[in-house]
């Protein structure tokens, strides 16, 4: 995954309490499309997991990071998946 890739939340991230209001289940209930974003920065860290991803979501109220609106402002690789074409 690199800067410029289109992503959405993975199944793992959909299960995190901090990301509940952006999860597929919550968005389907409120008749919204899955959230889509663009990876804007990839940073290497010195601990596991080794990469952190900053995402700019196509919606103004997207999560700031895996902590939702508070806490961690980046995502781990397992929090994101590529948007499928089709």
- pLDDT per residue as tens digits for the range 26-42: 999 999 988 999 999 99
| 1 domain-assigned | no
| 62 domain-assigned | yes
Q: 51-57 and 80-82 as β-strands: parallel, antiparallel, unpaired?
A: unpaired
| 54 domain-assigned | yes
| 19 domain-assigned | yes
Question: Rounded to whole angstroms, how far apart are CA atoms 81 and 14?
Answer: 11
Contact 8, 22 (CB under 8 A): no
**Domain containing residue 18:** 6-82
Question: Rounded to whole angstroms, how far apart are CA atoms 19 and 75?
Answer: 11
| 35 domain-assigned | yes
At residue 8, does pLDDT exceed 70?
Answer: yes
Looking at residue 61, its pLDDT comes to 87
Q: How many distinct structural domains can be found in the chain?
A: 1
Say what percent of the chain tops pLDDT 90: 69
The runs of H, that is alpha helices, within the chain are 11-14, 24-29
| 60 domain-assigned | yes
Looking at residue 53, its pLDDT comes to 94
| 75 domain-assigned | yes
């Amino acid at each position: 995954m690199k800067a410029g890739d289109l992503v959405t939340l993975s199944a793992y991230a959909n299960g995190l309490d901090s990301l509940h209001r952006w999860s597929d289940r919550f968005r389907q209930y409120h008749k919204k499309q899955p959230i889509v974003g663009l990876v804007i920065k990839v940073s290497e860290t010195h601990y596991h997991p080794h990469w952190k991803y900053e995402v700019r979501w196509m919606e103004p109220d997207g999560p700031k990071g895996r902590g939702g609106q508070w806490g961690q402002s980046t995502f781990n690789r397992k929090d994101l998946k590529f948007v499928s074409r089709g």
